[in-house]
Amino acid sequence: MARALILSYHCIAKPLDNALTPNNFVTPGMFGFQMWFLRKAGFTVISIKDMVKYTLGQLDVKMPVSLTFDDGYQDFYDNAYPVLRKYAYPSTVFVVSSLVGKENTWGGTKKLPVLKLMDWETLARVSEGGVDIGSHTRTHPSCSAIDAVRLWDEIAGSK
């Protein structure tokens, strides 16, 4: 069986003082270093779609890795996107569809500060620049805490 390495990021920004989960943050400098290291170490950065092909044995690449970004934070566009373009790395951003262009209203309950999310115009811009846009959920609930009907609505409705 093929091995799949997927690096999943949230915020590409300096951790804020009130962040009780600073591990959700990667500083822009560290992110740039990590992308440089992937190139230097011989990894092949591929899209999630190509990673599926790789795991099914339909694509042969050396040391594949995919890059994903949860929630659609504005700092992706500000800090990660320029680095990804520099290296021509594909990536996927999973957005919370009903909160696009707003803030992460789940922030106060998930020990994250409230942060700005990308708007539709910015998502279109990064999509044109090679970033795949995926759906996360509609409102970012704790999926283990909601009933099956609402869970279906959150997942299917987010598309």
Least confident of 66-75, 113-122, 131-140: 131-140
Q: How far is the C-alpha of 104 from the C-alpha of 12, rounded, in Å?
A: 15
Given a cut of 90, is residue 1 above it in pLDDT?
A: no
Q: How far is the C-alpha of 157 from the C-alpha of 137, rounded, in Å?
A: 8
Given a cut of 60, is residue 110 above it in pLDDT?
A: no
Residue 83: what pLDDT?
98
Non-local CB neighbours of 50 within 8 Å, separated by 6+ positions: 59, 61, 64, 66, 90
Given a cut of 80, is residue 15 above it in pLDDT?
A: yes
Pairwise pLDDT comparison (145 vs 121), residue with the higher score = 121
Residue 139: what pLDDT?
66
Residue 134: pLDDT band (50, 70, 90) is very high
Least confident of 64-73, 74-83, 129-138: 129-138
Residue 131: what pLDDT?
97
Question: Is the C-alpha dihedral spanning 87, 82, 75, 28 positive or negative?
Answer: positive
Chain segment 18-38, per-residue pLDDT in tens: 666 778 899 999 999 999 999
Least confident of 31-40, 55-64, 106-115: 106-115
